[in-house]
Amino acid sequence: MRFVILHYHILKNAGTTIENVLDRNFGERLARLDTEYRDGRIEQRDIVDYLGAHANIEAISSHQIHYPVPTAPGYLFFDWCFLRDPIDRLRSTYDYFRQHPAEGDPLSESANELPFAPYVRRLLERFPEQVDNPQTNLLANGKADRETVPEDLPRALECMRQIVFLGVVDLFAESLAAGRHRLRAVFPRLDFSAPPANVSGGLGGSVSRRRLQFREAVGRAVYGEVQRFNALDFRLLRAARAELRRRLASVPAAPARENAAPYVANPSRLPWALRREEERKRRRGLFDPDFYLAKYPDVRAAGIDPLQHYVTNGAAEGRKPHRLFDPAYYLRQRPEARAAGVDPLLDFLEGGARTANPHPLFDCAGNAAALADYAAKNPAPTPGAFLVSDEPAILRMQPQQRAFFEAVREDQLRAQTSSGDLEASRSR
């Protein structure tokens, strides 16, 4: 079985810094694979053929590979991809072309001919594909030279959640922490200490502050057009940040050490991540994340942790946390809880089960209390955990085995089943 990292190098999405990380770790075993043409495209079959001809290569970085990730017996591919706020990306691209002119490239020539505001207007008028949700397009369709439609977003969200090493540029240190943890069983010695590279100037401060500066530079009308063109990308980025924070919840706190690499997340920035496990324990067993996401597709589409959504919004909105818990039915029996506006599930688990039923199927309070007792003894699994076959099977694995299978994309495992390589990888 051959393990290969594929870095999807989206222009101005911290790609050079990540490429330097790969170079530091793999050296001659890293291939920078691009064609000589600006709009060239490297197909999945080309990647497999290239690897077949270069047995030493363990990582590939390219601006021209595209989703979906290739599948081939005998290979497990681990994709790395960083996303970025559309406003930051547009500004950084302009600065990059000004610093690194590319003869014959119309975008580079426009950036070097025009001040920033006219450059943005030219993009909107003459090169709309460059500002029409390019990141959503790349993840959903593997290309950025077509008009996006609303139906692209669910595909882009599903692709984003499958990315093994998902990064968000404005959460760079957190991205490295989550990525390193997820890859720990497959690439245990990855070193992320390489400093940032090819960083554009003028992008300090918060994201909100940079957006305000962008609006002041281009004017409200143009800024509004840029926002409209990138509506799907903004939603994709919000979902990616939520997914990244969900992954961070499983990263153990790193011990302080001198000259530590800057990948350890700051817990003070993640109040929900710190609280989530405690909240899960309080609602254990009777909050079903899979049911919640299936019943409420708006939560799935938004990329929000289902338990977080239930705690912060869903309970107040009367959403069901479990197929056997009907909040409206329960609160009719508990008018004092309804008047207090409490979370009905938490009220049930903290004593309400003695006097009220969670669902019409429970015909007496004794059954309801038995259900609450069952819930207390049977914690629900963490949502989003990758299960190879069934939950008990993966729970019986050794921690290292489990970490390995959680790092591998589901489509990659499916590709191995016919060749028998899956069983071989289980025994590694």
| pLDDT tens, position by position, 326-367 | 899 989 988 888 877 778 888 887 778 778 888 776 655 455
Give me the pLDDT at residue 285, please: 64
Task: Specify the pTM.
Answer: 0.65
Give me the pLDDT at residue 225, please: 94
Please report, rounded to a whole number, the percentage of residues in the chain having pLDDT higher than 70.
76
**Widest pairwise Cα distance in the chain:** 78
Please name every residue paired with 79 in a beta bridge, in sequence order, or none if there are none.
6
How many angstroms separate the CA atoms of 341 and 316, rounded?
Answer: 7
Which domains, ranges and CATH numbers included, belong to the chain?
2-248 (3.40.50), 271-377 (no CATH)
∠ CA 170-69-53, rounded to 5°: 115
Q: What pLDDT tens digit does each residue of the chain (428 aa) get? A: 799 999 999 888 888 899 999 999 999 999 999 988 877 899 999 999 999 999 999 999 999 999 999 999 889 999 999 999 999 999 988 998 898 888 888 888 999 999 999 999 999 999 888 889 999 999 999 877 778 899 999 999 999 999 999 999 989 989 999 999 999 888 888 888 766 655 555 456 778 888 899 999 999 999 999 999 999 999 999 999 999 988 888 787 654 444 434 333 343 344 444 456 556 656 666 788 888 999 999 888 888 888 888 888 888 889 998 888 889 998 998 888 887 777 888 888 777 877 888 877 665 545 555 555 555 554 443 333 332 333 344 444 456 667 777 788 888 877 775 554 444 444 44
Give me the pLDDT at residue 313, please: 84
Nearest to 292 by CA among 375, 162, 381, 407: 381
Give me the pLDDT at residue 400, please: 61
Dihedral of the CA atoms 237, 240, 244, 247 (nearest 10)? 170
Give me the pLDDT at residue 235, please: 94
Q: How many CB atoms lie within 10 A of CB 404?
A: 20
Q: What is the DSSP string of 320-365?
A: -SBTTB-HHHHHHH-HHHHHHT--HHHHHHTTGGGT--SSTT--SH
Give me the pLDDT at residue 197, please: 59
Please name every residue paired with 30 in a beta bridge, in sequence order, or none if there are none.
59
Which helix (H) or strand (E) segment holds residue 168: the answer is strand 165-168
Q: Which residues touch 284 (CB under 8 Å, ≥6 apart)?
A: 375, 376, 378, 379, 380
Q: Please confirm whether the linkage preceding 118 is cis (ω < 30° from 0).
A: no
Separation of first and last alpha carbons in the chain: 10
